[in-house]
Chains A and B, each alone.
Chain A
Amino acid sequence: MATLNILIAVCLAYVALLFGVAFMAERAALKGRGNWLRSPWIYTLSLSIYCTAWTFYGAVGYAARSGLEFVTIYLGPTLVMVGWWWALRKMVRIGRTQRITSVADLISSRYGKSGLLAVCVTVLAVIGITPYISLQLQSVTLSFSSFAISDPDGVSLIAGYDTALWVAVGLALFTILFGTRNLDANERHHGVVMAIAVEAVVKLFALIAVGVFVVWGLAGGVGPMMERIDASEIGQWQMDGGRWVGLTFLSAAAFLTLPRMFQVLVVENEDERHLRTAAWAFPTYLMLMSLFVVPIAVIGLEVMPAGSNPDQFVLTVPLTQGQEGLAMLSFLGGFSSATSMVIVAAIALSTMVSNHIVMPIFLRLTQGGASGPSDVRHVVILARRLSIGVVLALGYLYYKVSGGGAALAAIGLVSFAGLAQLLPAMMGGIFWRGATRNGAFAGLVVGFAIWTWCLLLPGFGGGVLSQAVMEQGPWGLSWLRPHALFGIEGIDPLLHAGMWSLLLNVTVFVLVSLVSFPSPLERLQGAQFVNIFDHSDNPQSWSGGIAQSEDLMIMAQRILGPEQVQSFFQAEAARQGLAGYLPEPTPDFLARLERELSGAVGGATAHAMVAQIMGAATVSVEDLLAVADETAQMMEYSSQLEAKSNELTRTARQLRAANDKLTQLSVQKDAFLSQISHELRTPMTSIRAFSEILRDAEGLEPKDLTRYASIIHAEAIRLTRLLDDLLDLSVLENGQVNLNIRDGLLSDVISHAIAASGTDMHAMRVRRSGPAAEIVLTTDHDRLAQVFINLIANAQKYCDADRPELTIDVSRRGGRVIVDFIDNGSGIPPQAQGMVFEKFYRVADRQAGGAGLGLAICREIMGRLGGTLGYLPGQGGAAFRVSLPAAQRMAAR
C-alpha cells in the first residue's frame, strides 16, 4: 500500500514538475527570452515521442518474444532521418510556408483544400491511433499492477479500481491542461515541447539505468552478458526477412504519417536547420534507447518466473531484485513515454478533429450568424477539449474491447499499418504533380478498408469477427478471409494486411490520379507543394558562366532595349571588377537583373526567363499562372496602347489634313500675294510711266499734260482703294473686327446705300419692295450698308441691259430677313457664279475698275454679322441674296 501510495505521489509530483517546466517555458517564450527553447537539441528530444511506452516496455517484450526484430521499429525512423532527410525537409518547408496544422491539413491542402479528404484523414487517424493510445493505457495500467503485485494491499486495491479508466481520465485532464491553454494551432506549444524534452531525458535515463543495472549488476559485465545472450533463445532467433523489411517499412512510414510525429516534426519546428542536427542526433537517441533492450530481455527471461509478462521486464526485473528506487525510476520512464505520446497525439488529433470536423459543422450550423469571434474561440477550445476526451475514451474502449491481453508491440504495429495508409497520398502529394484529390481519396479509402478488415477487426478478438468469418470469409467468400485475402495464405497477418492495403492503396491512388482531372486550385496547390523549394524564400543559388551572361544580355536586350541593358551589364561587370559588358552570373547580379526585367515584364515572367537561361529551375504551373496573370494585365495595357495608338493615328490624320490645308493655304497665299503684286504694280506702272513723261516734259502738248496728270491721279486713287480693300479684307478675315451693333430699320440702311451709290448719276432705276420699313435689325448698320453699296455698285458696273434696273426685295423667311438684289442684265454665267466671291476675281474685263475684292469683302462682312451672302441663280439677271438673322423684336408701331 505504502509503495503504491508513494508511486501515486511520485507520479503526481512528476506531473507537477512537468507542468512547471511547461509553464516556465511558455512564460520564457512569451517574454522572448526562450532562445534556448529554440535549440536543435530540444527539437531532437521532442522527436523522441516516437519512443512511447511501447518502446520503453514493449521493445523488451518484443525482444523476448521475437528476438532482434524489435530493431526494425528503430530502423525505420533512422533510415528516414538519415536517408530521407531531404523528404523531411520538404515536408517541413511545406508545413511552414503553407502554415499546415496537421497531417489532415497537409493532405487536404495539397489536394485543393478538400474538406472531404480532411475528414477522411482525420477519421482514419483517430481510428488508427486508437489502438496506440490503448497501448499506452495498457502499459501504464500494467506497470501499476506490477508494482501492486509486490505490495500485498495493492492487489486488492488494483482489483477494486479500473486503473486504465483512471489513467485515461488523468491523461485527458493532463493533456487538456497542457495542450489547450494555447488556442492557435499554428502557435507552437513551447511548454509542451519543453516538457516532452524533459520526459525524453527521463525515459532515456531510466532505460539506460535499468540496462546498466542489468548488465553490470546482474550479468556481471559486458563479457558475461554477451555469453548469456548467445546462450539465450533470443540469440538463436531466426530472422524473418519479409517481416524485417515489412516492419522497417511500416515504422518508417509511420514515422512520417503519425499525427504526433507530424506535430513535433513540422508544426513545432522552429527552424528548418534543426533537421540537420536531428538527422544524426535522433538516430543516436534511438540507438541508445535500444542499446539495453536485448540484455534486459535476456536477463528478464532468466530471472523472472515463467509466464510473467516480458513487456514489464524493465519494471519487474529491478522490482524482483529489490531495487525499488530503480523500479520507481523505470516506472517514471515508462510513465513519461506514455504521457508524452498521449499528450502530443491527443493535441494533434484534437486539432484535426476540431479544425476539420467540429468547426466546419459548427460554422455550417450557425451560418456564421450571431456568433462573434469570441464565441468561435470558445467553441474551438471546447471542441479541442472534447476531442481530447473522445480520443482517450476511444483508446480506453479499445483497451477494454481488445481485453488488454495482447503484446504491446502487436498493438502498436496495428496502428503503424493503419497510419501508413496516409503515406501514398502524402508522399505522392509532395513529389508527384499528377496526384489528384480523387486518387488520394480512393487510395485512402481502399487502404483503410483493407487495414480495418484484415488487421483492426481481427485484433478485437472473437467479439467482432466470428471464427467462421475468419476461416471461411464473409458470406462464404473465401477470397475475403481477413488473413488470406485473394486466397493468399500463410503470410504473417500484419505483413499480409500491410502489403495488401498499401499495394492496393498505391495502385488505386495512382490509377485514379491518372484518370481523374484535378481542379485548378488542386493544380496550383500541387505545384506549390511539389516545387516548394522553387518558391519559398530561400535564395536560389544560380551557377553559370560568361556564356550564360551573354544569353542573358541578348534576352534582356530584347526586353529593355540595347542601351539600357548595355549600361546595366557594364555597371554590373564593373561592380565585379571585370572589364567589358559581361559580368559573372552571380546570384546577386541575377537578382538585380530580375528586378530590372520585372519592371518591364513583371516579376514572374522575369524569374521564368532568367531561370530558363540559367537552366536552374523548371518553369512551374504556378510560374505559368503568374505569367498568364501578367500577360492578361499586359494585354489590357496593350489594348490601352492600341486605343492610344488609334488616337495617335487619328491625330496624325488630323495633322496631315491640317498640314494639307496649310500647304493649300500657303499656295493660296502665294497666289494671293502674286495677285496683290499684280494689282499694285499695274496702277503703279501707269503712274511711273506718266510721271516720267511729265518729268521729261519732252514732246508734250498742254492737253496731254492735263490728261496724263489726271490718269496719274485716277491710278493713285485706284491704288489707295485697293489698299483700303486689302486692309479691310485682312481685318475681316483674321483680325478683331469692332462691330458697332445697334437697332435700326432695314429700310434706313437700304436708303442710305442707294444714296451713297449715287444711282441718280447713272441711268439705273432702283425698285424697292417688301416690308423693309417694319424690320428692325440689331446689327452693324454701317457694315451692312457697305455690303449693300457694293452690291448696288456691282449692278451699276456690270448690268448690261439697255435700261438697267435693280430690284431690292425684302422678305422674311423662317427666322431670317432676306434682301435680294436682282438686276435685269444678262447675269453671271453659271461657271463663274461660284467664282465671283473669290478674291481678285473679275467677271468682265477690267475696264469696270476695282480689284475684284468687293464681293469677297462682302461675304466676310456677312459672316461677321451672322448672315450670308450668296448668288441666286435663275432670276434673269444677276441676283445676290443677303440673309440676316431676324431681329429680336419688330419695329415699334
Chain B
Amino acid sequence: MAKHVLIIEDEPNIIEAISFILSRDGWQVDTHSNGHDAVAVVRARAPDLVILDVMLPGRSGYDILTDLRAQPETQDLPILMLTARGQARDRELAEKAGASRFMTKPFSNADVIEALNALVAE
C-alpha cells in the first residue's frame, strides 16, 4: 500500500519537482501551499509523512510544527523540514520544534526519497 505524503510548500516549481519524484517512487502525493490552515489540513488528511517548508505565506513552518507536536494525533508524525535558509540557527530551531529530519534546499532528489523511506521505516 502506497504511503501517503503531504507536501506543504509555496513554491509551485518545487512542489512540482517533489511531487514528480515521489510519485515516481510510488508515494501517494498530496500538496498544500499555505501556512494559515496547514495544521488543520494535516489533521484532516492524516498523511503518513509530511514535508514541511519553513517560509510559508501566512505562517512559519516552525509554528506549524510546534502546533502539530503539541497534539497527540500528530505528536509522532514523521515530518521532514525543508528550508532555503541554510544556517545553523535554522537547524536548531527545527530540532527544537520537533522536526524528524531537516534538509536544506537545494537538495538531491535521491536524498529526499532516502530520507522519507528512512522516516517511514522508523
Contact = CB atoms under 8 A, between A and B. Distances in A.
A681 B18 CA distance: 15
Interface string A653-695: 0000000000000000000001001110111111111101100
A689 B11 contact: no
A678 B61 CA distance: 14
Interface stretch (B39-47, B64-72, B80-88, B94-102): B80-88
Interface of A: 674, 677-679, 681-690, 692-693, 696, 698-699, 704, 711, 715, 845-847
Interface of B: 10-14, 16-18, 20-21, 24, 55, 57, 84-87, 104-110
B24 A711 contact: no
A692 B12 CA distance: 17
B91 to A, nearest CB: 13
Contacts of B21: 689, 692-693
B9 to A, nearest CB: 10
A685 B10 contact: no
Nearest to B58: A845
B55 to A, nearest CB: 6
Contacts of A699: 24
Given A689-B106, A845-B57, A681 B14 contact: no
Contacts of B13: 683, 686, 690, 711, 715
Contacts of A711: 13, 16
22 contacts: A677-B84, A677-B85, A677-B87, A678-B85, A681-B84, A682-B11, A685-B84, A685-B105, A685-B107, A686-B13, A686-B14, A686-B17, A688-B106, A689-B109, A690-B13, A692-B108, A692-B109, A692-B110, A704-B20, A711-B16, A846-B11, A847-B12
Given A689-B17, A689-B106, A692-B109, 9 more contacts: A681-B86, A681-B106, A682-B84, A685-B84, A686-B11, A690-B17, A696-B109, A704-B20, A715-B13
B10 A846 contact: yes
A205 to B, nearest CB: 118
A826 B21 CA distance: 40
Nearest to A675: B85
Nearest to B108: A692
Nearest to B17: A689
B17 A678 contact: no
When A and B form their complex, which 7 residue pairs have the shortest distance between CB atoms, in order from nearest?
A: A689-B17, A681-B84, A686-B13, A685-B105, A685-B106, A688-B106, A678-B84
A698 B113 CA distance: 15
Given A685-B105, A699-B24, A693 B17 contact: yes
B87 A684 contact: no
Contacts of B86: 677, 681
B24 to A, nearest CB: 5
A844 B108 CA distance: 30
A841 to B, nearest CB: 13
Contacts of A847: 12
A875 B113 CA distance: 52
A835 to B, nearest CB: 15
Contacts of A687: 106
Contacts of A686: 11, 13-14, 17
Contacts of B16: 711
Contact of A674 (B11, B18, B85, B109): B85
A845 to B, nearest CB: 5
Contact of A845 (B10, B20, B106, B107): B10
Contacts of B20: 693, 704
